[in-house]
Copies of this chain bind each other. A is one copy, B any other.
């Protein structure tokens, strides 16, 4: 592959001049510029980003470590992140943690070895010593969706409190009293937050959230399945299962179907995270929608702010309830069909 030296030779100038033309430095004569451009064209020259990065100590690359590529929520996030980054002149390298802390750390390390300019991460656990360390060394970093408490790093996320209140109100109005939740890993902030908000909202309606109605999940479908099976085997199973993410809702649906039960007649389902498929499940699933696109864009902007030396901003955007039919409807006027 042609290097800057080849271009210089072909154009009859020094490498310095070639570099100046490429970086649109003002002091280059029109004549020299034209000859360089011609040479670049003739040789199909493209600057070696590796060499450039070594010299300038910047890669114009952002790292994004997401918890799970198979989760539509995170791919939607990844897409908006990449889009905004591209618009700002950055590339994005995505690392998939598969909800495993050690795989997350692996990615963080390789990303750092590649000297990315900044890191966007949605921590798989709330404790990663590596991440803490990275934060301390001053690598530009922003948390998205999940975060590690007590570290001074901007966080871009959706706040589900209000939407969860709306959900509980909706369920209560539908006549449901026994509400269960499948929680995310205790080590994640979103995992805890959603359980707390749910419990709080229930208390506001005079309902209790017994421990038996709190299932431990890990944001993966399988755990949703197991938690739901457990709920269904209870002497008094819940009327509604609320999954703290979309994959666990999928698992819950599996478990319910495996038992031959119907949704919402026998048991209702709701989920955190809205995804296109929820419109088409049988029945369509009531969900809490996050403004994924805005989240991704805000996260990139915050990170680039840090990278380029501007003060960054934490951002919290509201999530919203999307009512569908998976928890039943109009039970107060029974018999009304259509």
A103 (CB) vs chain B CBs: closest residue: B86
Known interface pairs A250-B276, A281-B277; A115-B78 also in contact (CB < 8 Å): no
Indicate if A315 sits at the interface (CB-CB under 8 A).
no
Give every chain B residue within 8 A of A112 (Cβ-Cβ).
Answer: 46
Give every chain B residue within 8 A of A106 (Cβ-Cβ).
Answer: 86
Give the docked Cα–Cα distance between A19 and B142 (Å). 33
A138 (CB) vs chain B CBs: closest residue: B1
Q: For chain A, residues 256 to 282, give those with C-beta under 8 angstroms from any C-beta of chain B.
A: 257, 276-277, 279-282
Tell me how many chains of this kind the complex includes. 2
Give every chain B residue within 8 A of A53 (Cβ-Cβ).
Answer: 50
Indicate if A330 sits at the interface (CB-CB under 8 A).
no
Give every chain B residue within 8 A of A50 (Cβ-Cβ).
Answer: 50, 53-54, 59, 114-115
Q: For chain A, residues 39 to 77, give those with C-beta under 8 angstroms from any C-beta of chain B.
A: 44, 46-51, 53-54, 59, 69-70, 72, 75-76
Number of chain A residues close to chain B: CB under 8 A: 47
Selected interface stretch from A91-99, A165-173, A175-183: A91-99
Known interface pairs A50-B50, A75-B75, A113-B49; A276-B93 also in contact (CB < 8 Å): no
Give every chain B residue within 8 A of A76 (Cβ-Cβ).
Answer: 70
CB distance from A55 to the nearest CB of B (A): 9
Give the docked Cα–Cα distance between A109 and B1 (Å). 14
Asked whether A70 lies within 8 Å of B59 as measured between CB atoms, the reply is no
Indicate if A221 sits at the interface (CB-CB under 8 A).
yes
Indicate if A254 sits at the interface (CB-CB under 8 A).
yes
Indicate if A82 sits at the interface (CB-CB under 8 A).
yes
Known interface pairs A47-B113, A48-B115; A276-B221 also in contact (CB < 8 Å): yes
A sample of 20 cross-chain residue pairs with beta-carbon separation below 8 angstroms, ordered by A number, consists of A49-B115, A50-B50, A50-B54, A50-B59, A50-B115, A70-B72, A70-B75, A70-B76, A75-B75, A78-B96, A86-B106, A91-B110, A250-B276, A250-B277, A253-B280, A257-B280, A277-B277, A277-B280, A282-B283, A282-B284
Given A46-B109, A49-B110, A86-B106, 4 additional A-B pairs, CB 8 A? A50-B115, A91-B110, A254-B280, A282-B282
The 10 closest A-B pairs by CB, nearest first: A282-B282, A49-B113, A277-B277, A280-B281, A49-B114, A50-B53, A50-B54, A69-B75, A253-B280, A69-B79
